Amino acid sequence: MVQRILALAQKEFIQIRRDRRTLAMMVALPILWLILFGYAFSFDVQEVAVALVDESGTAAGGAVARAVRSYERFTLVDLAAPSETAIREAIFRGEVTMGIVIPPGYGEQPDTQLQVLLDGASLFAAQTAARLLPGALEPAQAELRADLEARTRVEVEARIQELAEARRAELLAQVPPIMRAQVEEMLARAHGPSPDEVTIAAPDPPSFIPAITTLYNPDLRTANVMIPGLLGLVVMFMTTLMTALGVVRERELGTMEQLVVTPLRPLELMLGKILPYLLVGAVDFALVFAAGLYLFDLTFAGNLPLFLLLSLLLVLTTLGLGLLISTVSQNQQQAMQLAMFAMLPQILLSGFIFPLDAMPKAIKAIAYLLPFTHFVPIAQGMFIKGQGLDLLWPQVTVLAAYAVVVVGLATARFRKRIA
């Protein structure tokens, strides 16, 4: 019995060794997950882009400005013309996550508060910024408290000295002139209360509780940020996986050879194979879009025809990727494995789930090599903020280049495979 089991196990090992793609994925995937989840993935953004406008002209405002500038996890962004309007424009462009406005007379005039603006479209960065702000302001509060205590002590010491001099003059005025010398000597030897022995209660420093305004996603809802990227995820999943499996299935069933001998040209055959998956992906895209608007009460702020056109770039890229996978796969199992291997890093590294700003620089550089990474800011920027091509053209350019290259490679390999 044992011998039969060992013989069967040996046969399985031989099959695993011959299937090099599966063997490579069995070895590579655990290492990849270990590195990504242990090293790269985090919801806690390490550095927050901050714009600061100090209009106070007061010591309290200066202390707050110094504390914000010196905080190690805040990266200050210089504005050409510092103002609240400039901060709002920088947040719209995605250059700033948090803006801090120190109003005129802060710390000296009553009812003045720090004005804090957050980019709700950058969900995790905004949450991190709001959490870090109290700690960043602690040095300013300590500085102001120490300054108030020092000024209060000086005023108290001066008042004690003033009272002592007044009391001395009063006593000397009550004694005959012949005894004033003796009284002055007695008063000089007498010890009054020392200022160091007096408990001095300094007034409280100005309130550091800011007035926070969250732009574009006031409630910091996760759905508002996730659903725009989910549109691209649905398209990528359907078109990549289904195209790869559909073409390989024809080859496994032996019907691909029958199609090759028909009058269909290679380009016609390729377009005929991918068109159904394009239509299915479009239907899924429309369903998710409608669900986001009506079930989750979202609002699309951008240009819808332009958004659909830019989404087509992602569709072309993922269709080409699925076709490319089909040309290097021998069966549907290999096609599915390669498709998942190609899609999962894009899902995890694109900023769709984990913020890019929370990833190490090396991982972030790899993320920007993936096409889905460039679609997520397009979807979120147009859906939440209503951004246009004037701001999104870098991502659109990269995605268009990916579409041309991937579709070109897939077409070349597909023609060669069926020739």
Question: Residue-wise pLDDT tens for the chain (419 aa)?
Answer: 767 666 666 666 676 666 666 666 666 666 666 666 665 666 778 889 999 999 888 888 888 899 999 999 999 998 888 889 999 999 999 999 999 999 998 877 777 888 999 999 988 899 999 999 988 888 888 777 777 666 666 666 666 667 666 666 666 566 666 655 665 666 555 555 555 555 555 555 566 778 899 999 888 888 888 889 888 888 888 888 888 887 777 777 666 666 666 666 766 777 777 788 778 878 888 888 888 888 888 889 889 999 999 998 898 898 888 888 888 877 787 788 788 888 888 888 888 888 888 888 888 888 899 999 999 999 999 999 999 999 999 999 999 999 889 888 887 777 666 65
Q: Determine the Cα–Cα distance for residues 23 and 7; give it in Å rounded to an integer.
A: 20
The reply to whether 165 and 228 lie within a common domain is: no
Asked whether residue 37 is domain-assigned, the answer is no
Asked whether residue 297 is domain-assigned, the answer is yes
The reply to whether 388 and 272 lie within a common domain is: yes
Count of domains forming the chain: 2
Q: Determine the Cα–Cα distance for residues 223 and 121; give it in Å rounded to an integer.
A: 11
Sequence-separated (6 or more) residues with CB below 8 Å from residue 85: none
- Phi and psi torsions of 310, nearest 5°: -70, -30
H or E element that contains 321: helix 304-328
| Enclosing domain of residue 176 | 48-215
The reply to whether 239 and 175 lie within a common domain is: no
Asked whether residue 103 is domain-assigned, the answer is yes
Asked if 356 and 367 count as a contact pair (C-beta separation under 8 A), the reply is yes
**CB-side neighbour CA atoms (13 Å) of 169:** 6
Q: What is the pLDDT of residue 381?
A: 93
Last residue of a domain, one of 190, 215, 240: 215
- Strand-pair partners of 98: 50, 118
The reply to whether 198 and 245 lie within a common domain is: no
Asked whether residue 111 is domain-assigned, the answer is yes
Sequence-separated (6 or more) residues with CB below 8 Å from residue 345: 32, 370
**How would you list the strands of the sheet with 98-102, edge to edge?**
74-76, 48-54, 98-102, 115-119, 211-215
The reply to whether 332 and 403 lie within a common domain is: yes
* pTM for the model: 0.78
Torsion-angle region of 220 (φ positive above 0: left; ψ -120 to 50: alpha; else: beta)? left
Q: Determine the Cα–Cα distance for residues 310 and 381; give it in Å rounded to an integer.
A: 12
H or E element that contains 368: none
